[in-house]
C-alpha cells in the first residue's frame, strides 16, 4: 500500500468522523442557538468539506493532496487553540448554573479552575494532535505514475 493510499484511507475515516460531528453539532444548535455556536459550526463545516476534498485528492493521487491535508489540519489546530483559549479566559462563576446556591464559593472557584484547565488542555492537546496529523499528510511520498 502506497503512502497516498494510506493517507486516503485515513482521510476517509477522518471525513466520516468530521461529518458525524458536524451533523450532531448542527442538530444541537437547533435546540440551543447562539452566535458563538453558529460560528463554531461554520468553521467545523468548512473543515469537514475540505477533508472530503483531501480524501478525493489522495484517492486521485493529486500532488496537491498533502498540502490540502496539512493546512486543513493546521486550520483545525488553530480552531482548537482559539476555542480552548477563549473558553479558558471567559469562564465565570455563572458557568455553573443551578449550583451557585448549593456550592460553597471556594468550590465554585475550584470548578472554575478545573474548567479553565480543561479548556487549556483541549487547546494544547488537540492542537498538537491535529498538527501531527497534518504533518502525517504532508509527508506523503509522491505517487509513482503507473507504467503502461
pTM: 0.83
* Residue 103, pLDDT score: 73
* Residue 108, pLDDT score: 75
Task: Spell out the per-residue pLDDT of the chain, length 148, in tens.
Answer: 889 999 999 999 999 999 999 999 999 999 989 898 999 999 999 999 999 999 999 999 999 999 999 999 999 999 999 999 998 888 765 555 666 677 777 777 788 888 889 999 999 999 999 999 999 999 998 877 653 3
Domain ranges of the chain: 3-138
Grid cell at residue 114:
478545573
- CA distance linking residue 128 with residue 2, whole number of Å: 26
* CB distance 73 to 7 below 8 Å: no
* CB distance 40 to 25 below 8 Å: yes
Amino acid at each position: 500500500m502506497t503512502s497516498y493510499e494510506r493517507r486516503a484511507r485515513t482521510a476517509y475515516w477522518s471525513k466520516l468522523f468530521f461529518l458525524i460531528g458536524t451533523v450532531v453539532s448542527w442538530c444541537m444548535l437547533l435546540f440551543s442557538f447562539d452566535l458563538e455556536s453558529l460560528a463554531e459550526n461554520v468553521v467545523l463545516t468548512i473543515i469537514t468539506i475540505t477533508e472530503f476534498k483531501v480524501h478525493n485528492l489522495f484517492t486521485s493521487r493529486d500532488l496537491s493532496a498533502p498540502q490540502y491535508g496539512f493546512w486543513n489540519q493546521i486550520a483545525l489546530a488553530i480552531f482548537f487553540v482559539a476555542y480552548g483559549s477563549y473558553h479558558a479566559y471567559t469562564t465565570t462563576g455563572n458557568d455553573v448554573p443551578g449550583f451557585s446556591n448549593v456550592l460553597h464559593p471556594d468550590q465554585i472557584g475550584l470548578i472554575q479552575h478545573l474548567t479553565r484547565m480543561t479548556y487549556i488542555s483541549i487547546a494544547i492537546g488537540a492542537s498538537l494532535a491535529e498538527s501531527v496529523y497534518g504533518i502525517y499528510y504532508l509527508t506523503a511520498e509522491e505517487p509513482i505514475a503507473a507504467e503502461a
